[in-house]
Amino acid sequence: RKEVEQDPGPFNVPEGATVAFNCTYSNSASQSFFWYRQDCRKEPKLLMSVYSSGNEDGRFTAQLNRASQYISLLIRDSKLSDSATYLCAVPNAGNMLTFGGGTRLMVKP
Amino acid sequence: DTGVSQDPRHKITKRGQNVTFRCDPISEHNRLYWYRQTLGQGPEFLTYFQNEAQLEKSRLLSDRFSAERPKGSFSTLEIQRTEQGDSAMYLCASSPSNYGYTFGSGTRLTVV
């Protein structure tokens, strides 16, 4: 089992839709988690950090399920500009991040 | 610009040549990371510095790869005798401590 796994997608959704991605992780001792957004041929940019049960920032909500070892990212009222790849990342004790393969989101008009 | 800076942005090299990339982290960040990303994959960890000390190296970092951070500021990543499989985006990131990283724009390497 990979340390961090994501459904690669693509998720094709219409504007205004709500979409959710999951990310499973194997290390039950992990305490913090990150969601990054990556546009095509650009660097990943930090979207949200999750240190407890969840986090919310505007249209974006991240939730943590420790029992099942997954984190989710919910995007409400999708915009065309949300089209990107979303990467989840889990740090080890030395803060080295292990990334999932990313989930590609395409928001259509 | 106070972000993470990487140079060059693109590099095309012939197989067998050596290449060197530079990363300038955010000045107050003591941690610096190198990652490699190929198309359709997430970034893979290569190596990590805390100040000038290289504290961790991935098994992905073969003996053809070497990284330095001589004064605890900028870092270089050198690949000797490049192979076609080295073609990837090389990403540098920095962080102040146990927080999410800030990535640079990356160096895209193409080995022909």
pLDDT exceeds 80 at position B99: no
Q: In the structure, what pLDDT confidence band is assigned to residue B98 with cuts at 50, 70 and 90?
A: low
Q: Would you state the pLDDT for residue B36?
A: 97
List the beta bridge partners of residue B10.
B108
Task: Give the pLDDT of residue A92.
Answer: 82
pLDDT of residue A91: 87
Chain A residues touching chain B at CB-CB below 8 Å:
4, 6, 8, 32, 34, 36, 41-46, 49, 87, 89, 91, 94-102
Is the pLDDT score of B7 beyond 80?
Answer: yes
pLDDT mean over B72-93: 96
Tens-digit pLDDT profile for residues B9-68: 999 999 999 999 999 999 989 999 999 999 999 999 999 999 999 999 998 888 999 999
Task: Give the residue from chain A lying closest to B33, CA to CA.
Answer: A96
Beta-carbon neighbour count of residue B31 at 10 Å? 21
B residues 47-106 lying closer than 8 A (beta carbon) to A: 48, 55-56, 91, 95, 97-106
